[in-house]
Amino acid sequence: MLTMKSESKGLIANGVSLCSGCGLELAARIILDVLGTNTVIVIPPGCAALFSGYGSETVTKLAGFQGNLENTAAYASGIKAGFEMQGRGDIQVLGLAGDGATVDIGLQSLSGALERGDKILYICYDNEAYMNTGIQSSGSTPLSAWTTTTPGGKPVYRKDMLGIVAAHKIPYAASASVGYVDDLRRKVEKARTATATGPAYLHVHVPCPTGWGIKPAQAIEVAKLAVQSRYWPLYEVVDGEEYKLTVPVSKPKPVAEYLRLQKRFAGVNAQQLDVLQSAVDHEYASLMKKML
């Protein structure tokens, strides 16, 4: 039973204990605002667990469960099945997990749920490292980025998670960014609708001032630059086949502009910058070939 101590506008309390300028916080408020109260949320340990609460207090008005790091999708599948068997399949079951809990340790259970077609909504908030444990590199950390476990810069590319998800041919998958709030809202709405027939997946780019070495006030600017430099293209994939760019970027800014604001890329030299720019160009070109 939930006893309200202080009312908030949305489904998340005011004054939660995330870092200043946290991209996840804004993303989560928007996501829950779109989904509404007929939702059950599953959150693994990680930054989003700050929404779970502490002891007998919580900061969300939703029914929720804090799972383990690697099984968000499995918990969500079980919860959905339980509701379906009681004629309550209309309840939206949302998994909200970070990049480590999704692209690394949670990849197996997520893949299982996607393959089975379980009608869950899975949203990965990607701050590109294990931020809650202290900025350790994940499979989603970009090439050359500093983290505490890649002190010389990450030597390899990140995983193409949306590509992995799309390969499961689920009804709806999309990238999104906290820098493009209207696009994010539309995609949450579309994803919610898609769960009537199967799984939906969103991969949301959320700058982390603490881990990326940016000022809290720059989080949205950095998120926008990621999109405008084509580093983080905003697109959606329907049924694993129909690709659509939702925010076209006709005149991309140099990737250097995006990197320049972030201390985690301070060690990137001219040659590495060229590699990063070429990689972004190459991936964007590959993506364009898949567009309708």
Q: How far lies 263's CA from each of 188, 215, 225, 259, 268, in Å?
A: 31, 10, 15, 8, 10
| C-alpha radius of gyration, the chain, whole number | 18
Can you tell me which of 8, 29, 34, 58 binds other proteins, judged by CB under 8 A?
58
Q: What number of chain residues touch other proteins (CB under 8 A)? A: 48
Q: Which stretch binds other proteins (CB under 8 A): 17-25, 103-111, 256-264, 275-283?
A: 103-111
The structure tokens listed for 70 are 């690697």
Q: Is 38 in the site for other proteins (CB under 8 A)?
A: yes
Q: Is 17 in the site for other proteins (CB under 8 A)?
A: no
Strands 172-177 and 200-205: parallel
Residue 77 or 229: the one with the smaller Cβ distance to other proteins is 77
List the x/- string, 64-93, binding to other proteins by CB under 8 A: xxxxx-xx-xxxxxxxxxxxxxx-x--x--
Smallest distance from other proteins to CB 13, Å: 12
Can you tell me which of 8, 53, 136, 275 binds other proteins, judged by CB under 8 A?
53
Q: Which stretch binds other proteins (CB under 8 A): 38-46, 162-170, 229-237, 259-267?
A: 38-46
Furthest-apart CA atoms within the chain: distance in Å: 60
Residue 57 CB coordination number (10 Å) = 9
Can you tell me which of 109, 127, 144, 177 binds other proteins, judged by CB under 8 A?
109
Residue 33's SS3 state is helix
Q: Is 194 in the site for other proteins (CB under 8 A)?
A: no
First to last CA, the chain: 48
Of 90, 83, 92, nearest to 62 by C-alpha is: 92
Q: Is 63 in the site for other proteins (CB under 8 A)?
A: yes
Q: Is 213 in the site for other proteins (CB under 8 A)?
A: no
Smallest distance from other proteins to CB 147, Å: 24
Q: Is 216 in the site for other proteins (CB under 8 A)?
A: no
Helix/strand number for the chain, H first, E second = 10, 8
Alpha-carbon gap, residue 110 to 257, rounded angstroms: 34
Smallest distance from other proteins to CB 204, Å: 22
Strand partners, 6: none
Q: Is 252 in the site for other proteins (CB under 8 A)?
A: no
Q: Is 2 in the site for other proteins (CB under 8 A)?
A: yes
Residue 1 or 292: the one with the smaller Cβ distance to other proteins is 1
Beta carbons within 8 Å of 248's beta carbon, 6+ residues apart? none
Q: Which stretch binds other proteins (CB under 8 A): 110-118, 130-138, 140-148, 215-223?
A: 110-118
Beta carbons within 8 Å of 244's beta carbon, 6+ residues apart? 235, 236, 237, 238, 291, 292
Smallest distance from other proteins to CB 136, Å: 19
Strands 172-177 and 235-238: antiparallel
Q: Is 160 in the site for other proteins (CB under 8 A)?
A: no
Binding stretches for other proteins (CB under 8 A): 1-2, 37-40, 42, 49, 52-56, 58, 60-68, 70-71, 73-86, 88, 91, 108-109, 111-112, 115-116, 118
